[in-house]
């Protein structure tokens, strides 16, 4: 290669690197501008700074929540158990509903790629798109106040996540065991039970435990819309302006979540 060709190659490489750096710098500037614009629109312009008051008034408002209402503590045992059972039953019910949805939404086992598969995927998306509070409002209006509405809301909210992960696990299985079972005359149930289920069992069980862990957090706020549990007690304390009582309920929710976190950790280790 001649010196002029080497010089031209070096100049081209340097030029490309400078263009790449300029492009990256432009991208960073655009992102920074979008962040600053978001802060201006959502925080600075949308906050009532006059009503916010001084730092001292903010600290006085926060200080109301400092303290624990020990008289309320014995009354939290039943709501905590109700919240825990709501999460468990909602997760179990969501698992049963997720099984047919995952079967419909897995491309390699669905009965119909043009009808059942889009239907299964739509149900997964619908479940994840609607917030659990909205599901709770729907079921409170349908079945009335109480834990049943919360259980149904958690079940419907759990379907999207469990069925999606399960369907994707089914789609990623090794097809050799399935082909071997079919080759010896196995029916669809035997293919599912012996060829597919053993491959996805750990993933599905781990997903269910993880969803149960999340449902404990969700069930703690179901009572805000009348679905029972600690959320209902939290709402009552807020209505009565019992700020130490609000803090006590928050601490009870924290204890319940920590228990669920420890339990789910050991279950996931045992399963996975």
Contact 186, 126 (CB under 8 A): no
- 64-79 mean pLDDT: 81
Kindly list the domain boundaries of the chain, sorted by start residue: 3-47, 73-271
The residues, ordered by sequence, that sit 6+ positions from 29 with a Cβ below 8 Å of its Cβ are: none
Element holding 176 (H helix, E strand) = helix 175-183
pLDDT-based confidence at residue 18 (cuts at 50, 70, 90): confident
Q: What is the mean pLDDT of the chain?
A: 82
What secondary structure letter does DSSP report for 76? G
pLDDT digits (tens, 9 = 90+) for 162-179: 999 988 888 888 888 888
* Per-residue confidence (pLDDT) for residue 32, from 0 to 100: 92
Interatomic CA distance for residues 174 and 195, integer angstroms: 9
Q: What is the CATH number of domain 73-271?
A: 1.10.3720.10
pLDDT tens-digit map of 109-157: 788 888 888 998 999 988 888 888 888 888 888 887 778 888 888 999 9
- Is the pLDDT confidence value at 35 over 70? yes
Predicted confidence at residue 5, as pLDDT, reads 65
């Amino acid at each position: 290669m001649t010196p002029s060709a080497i010089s031209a190659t070096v100049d081209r490489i340097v030029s490309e690197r400078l263009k790449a750096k300029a492009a990256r710098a432009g991208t960073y500037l655009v992102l920074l501008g979008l962040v600053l614009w978001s802060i201006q629109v959502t925080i600075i312009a949308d906050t009532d700074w006059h009503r916010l008051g001084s730092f001292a008034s903010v600290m006085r408002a926060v200080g109301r929540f400092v303290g624990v209402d020990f008289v309320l503590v014995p009354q939290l045992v039943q709501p905590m158990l109700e919240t825990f059972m709501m999460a468990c039953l909602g997760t179990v019910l969501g698992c049963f509903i997720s099984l047919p949805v995952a079967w419909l939404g897995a491309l390699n086992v669905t009965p119909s790629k043009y009808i059942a598969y889009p239907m299964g995927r739509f149900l997964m998306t619908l479940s994840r798109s609607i917030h659990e509070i909205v599901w709770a409002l729907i079921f409170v209006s349908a079945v009335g106040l109480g834990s049943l509405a919360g259980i149904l809301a958690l079940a419907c909210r759990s379907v999207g996540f469990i069925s999606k992960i399960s369907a994707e696990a089914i789609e990623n299985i090794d097809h050799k065991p399935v082909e071997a079972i079919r080759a010896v005359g196995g029916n669809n149930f035997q293919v599912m039970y012996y060829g597919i289920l053993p491959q996805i069992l750990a993933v599905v069980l781990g997903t269910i435990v993880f969803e149960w862990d999340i449902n404990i957090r969700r069930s703690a706020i179901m009572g805000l819309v009348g679905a029972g549990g600690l959320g209902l007690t939290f709402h009552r304390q807020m209505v009565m302006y019992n700020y130490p009582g609000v803090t006590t309920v928050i601490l009870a929710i924290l204890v319940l979540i920590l228990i669920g976190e420890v339990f789910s950790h050991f279950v996931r280790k045992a399963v996975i």
